Chains A and B, each alone.
Chain A
Amino acid sequence: MNYPVVKGAAYALVQANSMLLHQGSTQITERLKNEQSEHLKALPEHLRSFEDAVCYPPNQAYIGNITPDQLKEIPHPWYENPIAGASRDGKYGEIMPEDEFFGLMKMVDSFDLVVLEESFQAAVKEKLQSHPILKDIKEITKLDSTAHSADEIQKLVAEHNAQPLYFAGKLVGCVKKAHEFDEALSSEVMLGNLANKASAVLVLKQLLAKTGLNPEQVDYIIECSEEACGDMNQRGGGNFAKAIGEICGCINATGSDTRSFCAGPAHALVEAAALVQSGIYSNVVVLGGGCTAKLGMNSRDHVKKGMPALEDMLGAFAVHIGENDGVNPVIRTDAIGRHKIGSGASPQAVMTAIVTDPLDKIGYKITDIDRYAPELQNPEITEPAGAGNVPMANFKMISALAVKRGDIQKADLMKAVDSFGMPGFAPTQGHIPSGVPFIGHARDMILEGKIERAMIIGKGSLFLGRLTNLFDGVSMIMEKNSGVVATDTGFDQEQLRKMIAEAMREFAKSFRE
């Protein structure tokens, strides 16, 4: 079987303190209830500096400067054990500060909704003009004009429902609504969508730069975040994918958006694998930008417990799926796990459908997978909020299944967890932690011969959309390439004719003898 391969992955983070305060849904809800709430007063004291966000170990793991195994060795709490001298530039991408990101949002804005203050815009333009990866985006010229005065921006925010953008304590810009009364084009929605688009542009540019993939080689882009872009007549009409590809110069690509809450990326990866294996496309990029609504989602508990507001990062990822090159890890398209409509809702049924059914199909035991990558939310963010350690719970469930199947003894449950598990290191950005943060690391570990195979698992809470009570989940296995690229298995008629002729000659010969 000529499996498709994972040719590269990129990851980006954007520190977004202003958006946390003003566009995080927890803060918006709080502001609506009580503008003078204790939480809103205390929260600004808990915001991190950019340097602290860069040196935060899980963020360094996300952009590839340390491995999850190295992160495991760093003592808790991680926010009290920063990595000295850590760089914003990562093996797989970068961590960007919010001022540059506002500039990037303006660059990707095709409808003049992002307005920046004159001096701020000038400063940011200079920074982006020296950004090694973004300076060649032709839309950088958007930063040459249409800046507003501080007063004009203040007016837009106060009187025209524009979303404020702050930096270093000053109002430096805003995002306008795209329509007077269409709720699907409100300033809040447009800001969220533009932030998503901009962070995805950043990570796609990183993928192109760090892996040598040319933008013109990209045939198809699948975007898999959880946002919707459209208008009141088609709220989720979409195509973030094409919009992102346009900015990045992917002139030969089209694309589409795939949605399944947090399981979106896993679905998108399977779709990409199918497109490549079938020969329809040669190079497909799966990507997703960050979510402003989720910023500071659990900040109430972080503030109460005297912690920094750790949910200050927008996350983005991009993965390149290509044709089998005999080198890169393959995607075992013959062992895709899926939670079916009829699978059932119990945790056991869910994990069986997603994890063990595909293993059974190809005759693997649970212990044959070297690493499992389920939802990889940073537990330092989730535990104080009472949501537990989600990656750990998933590893325990997989291990418990192994016990039930007799692959391991009950006494070895935690030993197995230790062996195939890893600490969570992704920000709580929904679709972002869902299996995909490990793809870059898995690829490296497989290429270095450290592991043979890893399973990427995505799970989604469909019931949040109030349309079904169903759960969802998809898994795929990345495996070491056998090194053999199957040649064209197309039928060679001439060859076959020769073979039949030869066989008949032999047959006739045997008659004569």
Chain B
Amino acid sequence: MLKGKKVAILGDRDGIPGPAIEECVKAAGAEVVFSTTECFV
């Protein structure tokens, strides 16, 4: 499902941060077009 898709990542500092999600979706064949990590505290 991810293969060939363009992905915008909204990571969470207290959940899974952007760069970690990036590794995952890239390994699944998706293209990362945006990645950020939000911090709520």
Contact = CB atoms under 8 A, between A and B. Distances in A.
Interface in B1-41: 13-14, 16-20, 23, 35-37, 39-41
B20 A347 contact: yes
Q: Which of B16, B18, B20, B35: most chain A Cβ within 10 A?
A: B20
Interface of B: 13-14, 16-20, 23, 35-37, 39-41
Contacts of B40: 382, 385-388
A464 B40 CA distance: 11
A464 B39 contact: yes
29 contacts: A344-B20, A345-B17, A345-B18, A345-B19, A345-B20, A346-B16, A346-B19, A346-B20, A346-B23, A347-B16, A347-B17, A375-B41, A377-B41, A382-B41, A385-B40, A386-B40, A387-B14, A388-B14, A390-B14, A428-B41, A433-B41, A461-B13, A461-B39, A463-B39, A464-B39, A469-B18, A469-B35, A469-B37, A471-B17
A387 B38 CA distance: 11
A428 B19 CA distance: 25
A484 interface: no
B20 A390 contact: no
B36 to A, nearest CB: 8
A123 interface: no
A393 interface: yes
Interface string A376-390: 010000100111101
Interface of A: 344-347, 375, 377, 382, 385-388, 390, 393, 428, 433, 461, 463-464, 469, 471
Contacts of A345: 17-20
Given A347-B20, A382-B41, 17 more contacts: A345-B19, A345-B20, A346-B20, A346-B23, A347-B16, A382-B40, A386-B40, A387-B40, A387-B41, A388-B40, A390-B14, A393-B14, A428-B41, A433-B41, A461-B13, A463-B37, A469-B18
A66 B38 CA distance: 34
Contact of B41 (A346, A390, A469): A390
Q: Which of B19, B36, B40: most chain A Cβ within 10 A?
A: B40
Contacts of A382: 40-41
Nearest to B39: A461
Nearest to B36: A463
Contacts of A461: 13, 37, 39
Contacts of B19: 344-346, 469
Contacts of A344: 19-20
Contacts of B35: 469
Nearest to A470: B19
A344 B14 CA distance: 15
Which 4 residue pairs are nearest across A and B when measured between Cβ atoms? A345-B19, A387-B40, A346-B20, A461-B39
Nearest to A298: B40
Nearest to A393: B14
B20 to A, nearest CB: 4
A346 B18 CA distance: 9
A383 to B, nearest CB: 11
Contacts of A463: 36-37, 39
A390 B37 CA distance: 16
Nearest to B37: A463
A163 to B, nearest CB: 25
Contacts of B23: 346
Contacts of B14: 387-388, 390, 393
Q: Which of A345, A375, A387, A464: most chain B Cβ within 10 A?
A: A345
A428 B39 CA distance: 12
A471 B13 contact: yes
A387 B37 CA distance: 14
Nearest to B16: A347
A387 B14 CA distance: 8
A376 B39 CA distance: 15
A382 B13 CA distance: 14
A27 to B, nearest CB: 18
A96 B14 CA distance: 32
A346 B19 CA distance: 7
Q: Which of B16, B17, B39, B41: most chain A Cβ within 10 A?
A: B41
Contacts of A385: 40
Nearest to A461: B39
